Structure 1
Amino acid sequence: MNTRPIIDESSGPFALSASFNADNSCFSVALETGFRVFTSKSGDLKLAREVGGGIGCAEMLSTTRYIALVGGGKQPKFPQNKVQIWNDATQLVSTSLEFKTPIQRVRISQSHLVVVLLNNVGIYKMKSPPEKIADYETVNNPFGLCSLGSKIVAFPGRTPGQVKLFHLDSGNVSIIPAHDSPLRALALSKNGDVVATASEQGTLIRIWSFPSCTKIGELRRGIDPAVIFSLAFSPIGSLLAVTSDKSTLHIFELPTPNSVPTPEPDPKTHKWGILSKVPLLPRPFSDIYSLAATKFEIGDEHVGWGPASKSATFNAGIPGVPGGRPTKGLIGWLDDNTLLVIGAGRDARWEKFIVGVNSDGKRVVYKEGWKRYLE
């Protein structure tokens, strides 16, 4: 007798994954029946397409009519080893790429396409058909970690905790031994001169300068291990936003590439006050903590469809979906003081936050609005 719980679809659409476009002006959502595109500033629906099957991930090319689609969910529309470049003007697939293994994630820009497999990253020039320019083996990368900038693309290397940086113009490759344990999140600044990384431990975020690949800062999210959902630099690169499975959004002030070493903590503003200056105390007392933090909503999900696995090297869940679980805590900056946190799943949410200063002159982050964007 089958005693497994039945996932009820009668309550409405189920968002499998979500992703921002390059300038965060829109976000695309993959569904069991198709995909939708929303305006980031308001969370309002911009485009809805029913394609007669599940889409695991949908990556929008800037603000154009092209969207990269990979099949996913219970009844995938497309094979999970193919990338389909959808032309919404014709509502047809204009071109596709086939691979030997399932696709974990796709990144797309006006000039390049990056396809992430479990143990491989392929980099292509955006043509019809796309032209391969590089191909690299990686450690197991079930979350499809990859950040595509205008100059470089960052992804895991061949050993756990390693970041590989590929220069899109020159083809040069740099390697950063970022962590001792596997990567769980990474991000590039807008101009590509700073890289942020987090491991599956989730306690420290490390900041690296490019092209020197030197560490310029180390930020402490917390003491207890956590799953880091997302890292994102503000447009001018002065702030870093971090979300985790603790349902907390942290805002960190960043060192600049030339500020080496990281400045000493100020006891007046540090979390541990004067204890941050006492020698021989454990390191967490002197580490740099976020300048502001607040709660975001992970949302209510079925137990079997939880937000994430703790492991950055093995994960099983929804076929065709990056990480195998609905996207949670995805960060997108609208400007240097405004950011969004997007979640997929049955309880799919759009939340807007403002970074400001309170009446005491202290930096704060607060929620300005939210909605369930599928309703």
Structure 2
Amino acid sequence: MNTRPPIESPSSTVVLSITFNDDCSCFAVGLNTGFCIYQAETCSLKTARDFNAGVGLVQMMGKANYLGLVGGGRQPKFAANKLILWDDQKSKSAMDISALTPVRGVQLSKERIVVVLQNSVRIFKFAKPPSLVAAYETANNPWGLCCMSARKIAFPGRMAGHIQLVEIASGNVSIIPAHSSAIRAIQFSRDGDLLATASETGTLIRVFATDNCARVAELRRGIDPATIFSLAFSPAGTMLACTSDKFTLHVFNVPLPKRAAAEPADAGTSEGDDGKGKWGILSKIPMMPRVFSDVYSFASAPFEAGEESLIGGLPISENTTLGTSRPPKGVLGWINGASLLVVGAGKDARWEKFVIQDGPDGGRTIVREAWKRILGNN
């Protein structure tokens, strides 16, 4: 007789995915029962749709009424290999795109639809019906990694550790050899001028200029390997936040002087908190290992992971349905130059707001200002 408790009761609501819109004013959650959209700064509910079936991914198109939906969970609403373009104003599907393999990720704009598969990325013109513009092979990409700015699209290259940077207008492709191991996280700055990358090793974050693919910064999260959950630039691009399975939020200065001078909204850099002085005099001794001279975060704080054991989960493989692997944690979104959110999925899905403040030592620190359970009962 099986006496083990069920992983989740049939009636329980579980958050399967979290995504922010372009300016982080809203975030969408895919549920095992439908989807919801929340106002980001206060975590107040804006929209709820009950399908009585699972949505493994919800991607917003800015503030427009179109959403990209992919079925997920143990009882998915849609087939795993189909992207549904949902018109929320009319509460119905406007069009769909089918693939031969499960959809892993989606990016939307008013001109383009980007469908991310396990080993390829397909770019469509936003039209009815959608027309295929280009297709690119990638290294194994189970996490559906892809990001899009107004001018460019970035996703893993054919070789592990490489990034393909596609210019939307011309279709020109640049290859960035970003890391020596597989890519685990990528993100553009809001203006699209910078691209941050992290590998599955999770010790170093690299920042590249998208106009010439030059590496402009290298930031050290830590010495021990970690799984990077999320990367996010502040609105002005002068700071970069990172979360990992160490359940610590790190905030780095991005050492680009022209940006710091031009964008005071991100509070600039206080003397002594640039992340270079972590090891004191050791960082100035010649021939010391590079970890002593690397740029570290100027502030860090723990965030809540919730009770992952309540969800269980499967390793991601080619046939894994969205929402049946480990729920995403530590998803980042900046709401202004000094405040950012960390949101996690699962049964105990949580929204946390962190604020950067002046510290007692003249530097800066980060503190948690508020938190809520997304599904209520906090």
User: What TM-score comes out, normalization by structure 2 length?
Assistant: 0.91
Call closer, same or farther: CA 1:44–1:206 in 2, change over 3 Å.
same
Aligned: 1:152 with 2:152: yes
Q: Which residue of 1 aligns with 2:87?
A: 87
Conserved in 1, the CA contact under 8 Å of 2:8 and 2:311? no
Q: What is the CA–CA distance in structure 1 between the aligned matches of 2:329 and 2:145, rounded to whole Å?
A: 14
Q: What is the CA–CA distance in structure 2 between the aligned matches of 1:94 and 1:11, rounded to whole Å?
A: 30
Q: What are structure 2's unaligned runs of at least 5 residues?
A: 260-271
Q: What is the CA–CA distance in structure 1 between the aligned matches of 2:319 and 2:330, rounded to whole Å?
A: 18
Deviates more, 1:352-361 or 1:272-281: 352-361
Conserved in 2, the CA contact under 8 Å of 1:16 and 1:30? yes
Offset at 1:256?
2.0
For 1:99-136, what per-residue CA distance to the aligned partner results, in whole angstroms no more than 9, with x for missing partners? 00000011112222111000010112222222221110
Offset at 1:10?
6.0
Q: Which residue of 2 aligns with 1:262?
A: none
Q: Which residue of 2 aligns with 1:373?
A: 374
Q: What is the CA–CA distance in structure 2 between the aligned matches of 1:75 and 1:145, rounded to whole Å?
A: 24
Q: Which amino acid aligns with 1:362?
A: G
Conserved in 2, the CA contact under 8 Å of 1:331 and 1:341? yes
Deviates more, 1:106-115 or 1:96-105: 106-115
Aligned: 1:293 with 2:293: no
Aligned: 1:284 with 2:285: no
Deviates more, 1:234-243 or 1:3-12: 3-12
Q: Secondary structure of 2:59's match? A: strand
Offset at 1:169?
1.1
Q: Secondary structure of 1:84's match? A: strand
Offset at 1:8?
2.4
Q: What is the CA–CA distance in structure 2 between the aligned matches of 1:299 and 1:332, rounded to whole Å?
A: 18
Q: Which amino acid aligns with 1:365?
A: I
Conserved in 1, the CA contact under 8 Å of 2:274 and 2:295? no
Q: Which amino acid aligns with 1:83?
A: L
Q: Which residue of 2 aligns with 1:110?
A: 110
Q: Which amino acid aligns with 1:117?
A: L
Deviates more, 1:1-10 or 1:173-182: 1-10
Q: What is the CA–CA distance in structure 2 between the aligned matches of 1:257 and 1:317, rounded to whole Å?
A: 46
Q: Which residue of 1 aligns with 2:241?
A: 241
Q: Secondary structure of 2:175's match? A: strand
Q: What is the CA–CA distance in structure 1 between the aligned matches of 2:35 and 2:17, rounded to whole Å?
A: 10
State the Cα RMSD in Å.
2.2
Q: Secondary structure of 1:191's match? A: coil
Q: What is the CA–CA distance in structure 2 between the aligned matches of 1:277 and 1:116, rounded to whole Å?
A: 45
Q: Which residue of 1 aligns with 2:309?
A: 302
Call closer, same or farther: CA 1:266–1:55 in 2, change over 3 Å.
closer
Conserved in 1, the CA contact under 8 Å of 2:275 and 2:298? no
Offset at 1:194?
1.1
For 1:180-233, what per-residue CA distance to the aligned partner results, in whole angstroms no more than 9, with x for missing partners? 100000111111111111000000001111221111111100000000000111
Q: What is the CA–CA distance in structure 2 between the aligned matches of 1:3 and 1:121, rounded to whole Å?
A: 44
Q: How many correspondences in the alignment?
A: 364
Q: How does 1:34-183 map to 2 (within 5 A)?
A: 34-183=34-183
For 1:46-86, what per-residue CA distance to the aligned partner results, in whole angstroms no more than 9, with x for missing partners? 11111131111011111222111111110111100000011
Q: Which runs of 4+ in 1 moved over 3 A?
A: 1-5, 265-269, 314-318
Q: What are structure 1's unaligned runs of at least 5 residues?
A: 260-264
Conserved in 1, the CA contact under 8 Å of 2:186 and 2:197? yes
